[in-house]
Amino acid sequence: MAEADTRGAFVRGFWALAPLWLGVIPFGLAYAVTARGAGLSLLETQALSAFVFAGSAQLSAVGLFASGSAGIEIVLTTLLLNVRHLLYGLSLGREIPLTTRERPMAAFFLTDESFGVVAAARERSFPFLLGAELSLFAMWNLATLAGYLVGASIPNPEKIGVDMIFPLAFLALLVPLVRTRIELTVALASGALAFGLARTLPGGLPILLTGIGGSLFGAFLTRGTPADRSINPEDAAREVA
Amino acid sequence: MTFWLILSGMVAVTFGSRYAGLALRVDLPDFWVRFLHFVPIAVFSSLVAPALEGNRSEWGIRVTAAAIAAVAAWRTRQLWVAIAVGMAVFWLLRIPF
């Protein structure tokens, strides 16, 4: 019985992320084509997808490899782009009870997309999280392989407009989270801040800074109201995904 | 060889960022509990807003598609419906008349 529950939650998490495949596949293909163009071997291209598993960081690393940048430069850029995951872990770690053995696995596969789907879903459990995470991991790696093998005949994602899928997905995840006037204020202020920051800073950094700034703003605006400390709130409004 | 050394560094900083947040288990003061409540809201907004501009001077189309997708998300609470509606509007408006 317990095993069937675990399996059910994993499968639900896996499918909860499936609407995002449409955005992942062209992005993965584009990454692989870029990596191949930069002179990386198939093994190297695939290893980045399997072990780093962070799209924007992989794409910028490949560009840096091509321009002959120093290794330390590539690693620091990766850190800059990926340090935002710290916030996701902090947020999820409070909501989902994880054992010491589950934690590294949940961390290794954590992405914007799986955090998004799980943070917006009503269901909070390790199998559900892992299902969502591996759903993205499988697609990302398959798209990498296909992109490398098929090569340059793949159209540019921006040209066919599929780069719009991720913003739409995160907007759809955001909408049900905004229920109070303060939450709306924080959402609008964060959007404006990120818009401004993205004009001068690289990929992941505006997300990190906005994540911190917007959340500080929200915590400040809600001062005086007691915090909800329940670990697994039966929150009826969180129904999307 | 250098490639694999760089890859190891990339894995270390990425996994480190992902693990550190999950591993931190302290009883946080009220202010930081409320802070964490706003993290998904602030992060999702920051993933949406800059992408609405695009690089092809078609921000009007993108904002329109996003607004209609937001209504679809609000009404249906279904991720795939919101994406499908938003993309349909986006592609339709992109067709040069």
Mean pLDDT of all residues belonging to chain A: 87
Put simply, whether A101 touches B (Cβ < 8 Å) is no
Rounded average pLDDT over A11-40: 89
Contact A75 B80 (CB under 8 A): no
A228 part of a folded domain: no
Contact A131, A14 (CB under 8 A): yes
Contact A87 B21 (CB under 8 A): yes
Q: How far is CA B18 from the centre of its chain?
A: 17
Torsion angles phi and psi, residue A168, rounded to 5: -65, -40
A235 part of a folded domain: no
Pick from B34, B35, B44: CB nearest A174: B44
Q: What is the pLDDT of residues A138-190, one digit of tens each?
A: 999 999 999 999 876 767 777 777 778 888 988 998 998 899 999 999 999 99
Give the minimum alpha-carbon distance from B92 to chain A in angstroms, rounded to a whole number.
11
Domain residue limits at B80:
53-97
**Given its phi and psi angles, is residue A68 left (phi above 0), alpha (psi -120 to 50 degrees) or beta?**
left
How many domains does one find in chain A?
1
- The residue with greater pLDDT, B1 or B81, is B81
- The residue with greater pLDDT, A4 or A123, is A123
Percent with pLDDT over 90 in chain A: 49
* Dihedral over Cα of B62, B64, B69, B74: its sign: positive
Q: How far is CA A31 from the centre of its chain?
A: 16
Split at pLDDT 50, 70, 90, the class of A15 is: very high
B85 part of a folded domain: yes
Domain residue limits at A208:
2-221
Instruction: Say what the pLDDT of residue A43 is.
Output: 97
A79 part of a folded domain: yes
Contact B24, A93 (CB under 8 A): yes
**Which of A57-61, A126-130, B58-62 has the largest mean confidence?**
A126-130
Contact A177 B44 (CB under 8 A): yes
How many domains does one find in chain B?
1
Split at pLDDT 50, 70, 90, the class of A231 is: very low
Output the DSSP codes for A164-218: GHHHHHHHHHHGGG--SHHHHHHHHHHHHHHHHHTTTS-THHHHHHHHHHHHHHH
